[in-house]
Chain A
Amino acid sequence: MQEAIINKAKELLADGRVDRVIGWKKGEFSYDITPAVFETAEEIDAEFVCNDFTSANVSKYLVKETKKDGTVLAFLKPCDTYSFNQLVKEHRIDASKVYTVGIPCDGKLDPEKIKQKGISGIRSIEKDGDMLKIDTVYGDETLKISDAMSERCLSCKSRKHVCYDELIGEDGDVISSNRFDMVEQLENMSAQERYDFWRSQLSKCIRCNACRNVCPACTCEKCVFDNDDSGISNKAAADSFEENMFHVIRAFHVAGRCTDCGECSRVCPQNIPLHLLNRKFIKDINSLYGEYQAGADTDSRAPLTDYKQSDCEASVVHERGVE
């Protein structure tokens, strides 16, 4: 598949259809992939990679890239197309400057999961059926692919590309996934249990802002948390209340716009399941306003920015709060 993608990139560059290509660049090891912009076929041949570890969602980079001259080719996995659409809908990406090629995805692997199995000194990782064969300085290791699969990919919502100019491979379908299972478990907890769960998770936060900075829904020119004049800018939690609130406020801010791409949890250095906050909002929006998937299209009105007489009353907050 990587070969088809590379050929497509070179073809579109050669015929002048695009000026640049955004994709992924190989790293020191098999898994440390960096998003990158390529301008020539030589660069692509030398460094372009698309494999089981090219997890990063490149949609957000298009905000910056489409401010430049020329057209950029973006390779988008199914989940990336939702982010792309949502950013187009919010007028953050100039879609006329992007040529999108949808690429298939069977789920990406999480190097941290592999390492947490005690596998160290990794020299190479290869797929063999439903197993991974891992060559390490300590000898060969094997691991079930499903045990190395990224958490977000285990509850993939869609293998369908919601937008593309061109497609490599067959398009997939929206999947009825298990992505709300954990949210339901949390809902079924007592208030105290739920509070304890989130306290223990959020207290790990080191306020590195990786979740915010990677989030395709967080594209404010100046985040309130970075603005000295906002009165709430902070780089550390002055107290534990604030530590919780950063993430809760962020979840509120992206509610109705979060496509559930899962980048927040992927990049969190402390492994906080931040996506669960967003999924709770998605689940609530679905149940209160009807099924809605942010990024599924570019023209529908989002429930939280639209008004219908059938909308739930504000009292629902109180009613739901009663245990």
Chain B
Amino acid sequence: MLRISLDKLDTLFAKIAEKQKLYIPSDREDGSAEYMEWSEGRKLSNALNTVRSAKEFFFPQTESLVDFKLSGKNIEVIDIRKETEDFVVFGVRACDARSFGILDKVFLSDPVDSYYQNRRNHGTIVTMACTRPSETCFCTAFGIDPTAPEGDAACFTDGSFLYIKANNDRGEAFVSSVSSLFEDGDTAELEKVQAKTKEVLGILPLSGLSTEAFGGDKLNKLFGSEKWAELSESCIGCGTCTFVCPTCQCYDIKDFNTGHEIKRFRCWDSCMYSDFTKMAHGNPRLTQLERFRQRFMHKLVYFPANNNGELGCVGCGRCLTKCPISMNIVKVMKALEAE
């Protein structure tokens, strides 16, 4: 397999960045990792994952949709869309890589969202296999193998070398653009690391998490569960879970008056927010119970109902780490399953 010594990562990054923008997970001053544009000196984070997911490369938190200029009774609609420049996101974990497939089902289904598609068409995803999964990881419950991540190209490491393999045509093009830095090498050490990781995956606390109780056919049973009241009791109605989640894709559309023109933008929204479904004459989800239930029903029932049974969670564990009151999809799944 093609490999490069880990101490030559900077050379690799420099080579990639010659042609296109490169983003890598890197450590912030507060110790957390986030995707940052690579420039000389920027180091790849050792963190298992970034606080925010990689979804924002395709579905940014805020983006302009269209501009309007008003004059008298007339309105001018200005299409501000531009072809995105090619970019590479390096170091995406298997969970986030799977999330793109879920987002694709929303944004690339008819009618195609051109803003998302534009970025998708120009982004190359280079994934990085996990070697130190954490107790909050449960991607395997969704059939994800973190030692063999999806993505256009996948990287693996044994602690000394970085190995690379293309998963599709775009990945082939990427690998051949950097292959001069790589050499063919023996994978014995890598296989040992992968076997060790697989062993760890089997003993992680959440390794036995079952998804059998969920799916599109369980709609009314799960919706009517009495557990929702208890599960949602302490929810403070913030949007943390939603915003760190790689598969949450709800958005709001708003107008902003710059004084010169009206900019219509969209931004991430959260079904956990009290005004999410509020209308001039009422609100179908009046309490946090209904909002909380919506979020989990969406991932565990509604999404699979509309997408051949595929669940809308990838087990990245971000909500487990970040929820201010430590309520999360694993606790919800276990409580509902026990019914």
User: Which residues of A come within 8 Å of B, CB atoms?
Assistant: 27-29, 31-37, 56, 61, 111-112, 115-116, 118, 120-123, 136-138, 200, 204, 206-210, 212-214, 226-228, 233-239, 266-267, 269-271
Distance in Å: Cβ of B232 to nearest Cβ of chain A: 11
A-chain residues with CB within 8 Å of residue B275 when the two chains form the complex = 226-228, 233
B40 within 8 A of A: no
Once the chains bind, are B326 and A269 in contact (CB under 8 Å)?
A: no
Once the chains bind, are A236 and B324 in contact (CB under 8 Å)?
A: no
**Lowest 7 A-B CB distances belong to which pairs?**
A236-B267, A267-B324, A32-B326, A210-B238, A271-B30, A213-B236, A238-B256
Contacts A206-B243, A228-B275, A236-B62; A137 near B254 (Cβ below 8 A): no
Q: Name 14 extra pairs, CB < 8 A, besides A28-B330, A115-B321.
A: A35-B325, A36-B230, A115-B134, A121-B134, A121-B135, A207-B239, A214-B236, A226-B275, A236-B62, A238-B256, A267-B238, A267-B324, A270-B32, A271-B28
Once the chains bind, are B331 and A235 in contact (CB under 8 Å)?
A: no
Distance in Å: Cβ of B252 to nearest Cβ of chain A: 6
Residue from the list A36, A137, A227, A266 in contact with B234, Cβ < 8 A: A36
Contacts A34-B327, A118-B46; A235 near B252 (Cβ below 8 A): yes
Q: How does the 8 Å CB contact mask read for B253-275 relative to A, with 1 for contact and 0 for none?
A: 01010000001010111100111
A-chain residues with CB within 8 Å of residue B240 when the two chains form the complex = 208, 210, 267, 269
Q: How many residues of B contact A (CB 8 A)?
A: 56
Once the chains bind, are A137 and B135 in contact (CB under 8 Å)?
A: yes
B200 within 8 A of A: yes
B-chain residues with CB within 8 Å of residue A235 when the two chains form the complex = 239, 252, 254, 267-270, 273
CB-based nearest B residue for A61: B234
B51 within 8 A of A: yes
A-B contacts counted at CB < 8 A amount to: 140
Complexed CA–CA distance, A81 and B252 (Å): 39
Chain B CB within 10 Å — which of A56, A118, A209, A271 has the most?
A209
B69 within 8 A of A: no
CB-based nearest A residue for B34: A204
B52 within 8 A of A: yes
Complexed CA–CA distance, A214 and B326 (Å): 13
Question: Can you sample 12 A-B contacts with CB below 8 Å?
Answer: A116-B32, A138-B132, A206-B61, A206-B239, A208-B239, A213-B236, A214-B324, A236-B252, A236-B254, A238-B254, A238-B265, A269-B240
Once the chains bind, are A269 and B200 in contact (CB under 8 Å)?
A: no
Once the chains bind, are A209 and B274 in contact (CB under 8 Å)?
A: no
Contacts A208-B243, A214-B236; A121 near B52 (Cβ below 8 A): no
B244 within 8 A of A: yes
User: Which residues of B come within 8 Å of A, CB atoms?
Assistant: 28-32, 46, 48, 51-52, 61-62, 132-136, 200, 203-206, 230, 233-234, 236-240, 242-244, 252, 254, 256, 263, 265, 267-270, 273-275, 278, 320-322, 324-328, 330-331, 334
Contacts A34-B327, A36-B234, A121-B135; A138 near B274 (Cβ below 8 A): no
Complexed CA–CA distance, A292 and B62 (Å): 41
A-chain residues with CB within 8 Å of residue B61 when the two chains form the complex = 206, 236
CB-based nearest B residue for A270: B51
Once the chains bind, are A36 and B206 in contact (CB under 8 Å)?
A: no
Chain B CB within 10 Å — which of A31, A115, A212 has the most?
A115
Once the chains bind, are A27 and B243 in contact (CB under 8 Å)?
A: no
CB-based nearest B residue for A116: B31
Once the chains bind, are A36 and B233 in contact (CB under 8 Å)?
A: yes
Complexed CA–CA distance, A116 and B326 (Å): 18
Complexed CA–CA distance, A67 and B257 (Å): 41
CB-based nearest B residue for A30: B135
Complexed CA–CA distance, A228 and B236 (Å): 20
Distance in Å: Cβ of B249 to nearest Cβ of chain A: 14
Distance in Å: Cβ of B93 to nearest Cβ of chain A: 13
Contacts A208-B238, A210-B240; A37 near B233 (Cβ below 8 A): yes
Distance in Å: Cβ of B47 to nearest Cβ of chain A: 8
Once the chains bind, are B203 and A213 in contact (CB under 8 Å)?
A: no
Distance in Å: Cβ of B39 to nearest Cβ of chain A: 17
Complexed CA–CA distance, A226 and B237 (Å): 12
Complexed CA–CA distance, A36 and B331 (Å): 14
Once the chains bind, are B200 and A137 in contact (CB under 8 Å)?
A: yes
Once the chains bind, are A210 and B236 in contact (CB under 8 Å)?
A: yes
CB-based nearest B residue for A37: B233
Once the chains bind, are B238 and A213 in contact (CB under 8 Å)?
A: yes
B-chain residues with CB within 8 Å of residue A118 when the two chains form the complex = 46
